[in-house]
Structure 1
């Protein structure tokens, strides 16, 4: 499968860094997604507008430029971030902006009649959200969040440009030191595929589960 086993340890170390960064960034993106997604559906006009500005800014500007801004510009104003912290914050904010739309649309897709029924039973708004809306919305979100996780893994390749020795960075280093351009990049491609295959399978499972849920909901 791999073309040069002697060079594999450095690539595997890079893959380990990629996995760690991806896991941390996925957690950060999920937090941002829920906070901003719920703010988008808030009754407060100020919150809705602020969330919209956030989403439009991070979706409308380059992730790479955002990473450069955090890593190179913030220190000029006394905010020094390590490369890995910069990567997690940058990926979390950028992909979280996309994830917030997943959260918002999933919540809005829940039948309003269920919410009204819960309120007719005098259930508090938060309990209604936690017990009625959120469990159903999460099932709907799963496939899209699976795809978002895959995008985060692929986006980690950009952090090589802020000197993090992840898979792409180590692959580039080996290309410079050995000159084996095509073989090394082929191995890097295989490693990314191995990382993302379990996530792809998770997305397929989530899509089937969400499909069954939607079918059951329509049948009620």
Structure 2
């Protein structure tokens, strides 16, 4: 068996952990993005201020510091989370804060005329939002959420700092055991490239699809 062949199975196990954390973090980030993004547009000032404070905290501080805070500081106050839950929470909150701007700007980009037309038909606000605003906003959000998924996949490399045996930590362990520094990091680089290439292709497709859809709607009008 070649040296790379001996390393691959162990690195593949670490890659699976990375993919699991990335998938759960993406779901968490999207949920946070929608909650905070729509809260930024609330008619209630207290909700807008709370959302803005959240945004400033999680965009204004390092993800590494947030990971350490949740993993090392919260247990001192009797709040204990597993390393995996901590990783999903920190990445979800941090990247969700950035994602909230995607949601907010996409919703704001919908023409006021459409909203006013829906309200003039006496449609409830939640129907106006779910049937008129949200479908169009999602089309605008899709490419940006693809980029967000790529950032989340790359951010998972930091979870090794809180003892999770992900791809990066597995690489560190193998380097210590075998001394194959260059080979291990080369394989890790290729695995991350393999993970992110489909996401890059999705973003390109989503951008073209959204552009065609918007042109189609404009021509229809």
Interval of TM-score (by shorter of Structure 1 and Structure 2):
over 0.9
For 1:120, the equivalent position in structure 2 comes to 120
Secondary structure at 2:43 match in 1: coil
Structure 2: gaps spanning 5 or more residues: none
Higher mean alpha-carbon deviation, 138-147 vs 202-211, is at: 202-211
Distance in 2 (alpha carbons) for counterparts of 1:176 and 1:128: 58
For 2:33, the equivalent position in structure 1 comes to 33
Once the two structures are TM-superposed, the CA of residue 216 in structure 1 deviates from its matched residue by 2.9
TM-score, scaled relative to structure 2: 0.97
For 1:81, the equivalent position in structure 2 comes to 81
Secondary structure at 2:42 match in 1: coil
Alpha carbons 1:3, 1:184 under 8 Å: kept: no
Distance in 2 (alpha carbons) for counterparts of 1:166 and 1:80: 21
For 2:14, the equivalent position in structure 1 comes to 14
Structure 1: gaps spanning 5 or more residues: none
Distance in 2 (alpha carbons) for counterparts of 1:125 and 1:48: 18
Once the two structures are TM-superposed, the CA of residue 127 in structure 1 deviates from its matched residue by 0.2
For 1:177, the equivalent position in structure 2 comes to 177
Question: What CA deviation, in whole Å up to 9, does each residue of 1:147-177 have, x standing for no partner?
Answer: 0000000000000000101101101111111
For 1:64, the equivalent position in structure 2 comes to 64
Alpha carbons 1:12, 1:167 under 8 Å: kept: yes
Question: What CA deviation, in whole Å up to 9, does each residue of 1:66-114 have, x standing for no partner?
Answer: 0000000000000111100000000000000000000000000011111
Relative distance call for 1:3 and 1:146 in structure 2 (3 A) is farther
TM-score, scaled relative to structure 1: 0.97
Once the two structures are TM-superposed, the CA of residue 218 in structure 1 deviates from its matched residue by 3.7
Once the two structures are TM-superposed, the CA of residue 3 in structure 1 deviates from its matched residue by 6.0
Distance in 1 (alpha carbons) for counterparts of 2:207 and 2:96: 21
Once the two structures are TM-superposed, the CA of residue 213 in structure 1 deviates from its matched residue by 2.5
Distance in 2 (alpha carbons) for counterparts of 1:146 and 1:94: 16
Alpha carbons 1:143, 1:206 under 8 Å: kept: yes
Secondary structure at 2:139 match in 1: helix
For 2:46, the equivalent position in structure 1 comes to 46
Once the two structures are TM-superposed, the CA of residue 217 in structure 1 deviates from its matched residue by 3.9
Map 1:91-110 onto structure 2 (within 5 A).
91-110=91-110
For 1:189, the equivalent position in structure 2 comes to 189
Q: Aligned-residue CA RMSD in angstroms?
A: 1.1
Question: What CA deviation, in whole Å up to 9, does each residue of 1:98-149 have, x standing for no partner?
Answer: 0000000000001111111111111000000000000000010000000000
Distance in 1 (alpha carbons) for counterparts of 2:53 and 2:79: 23
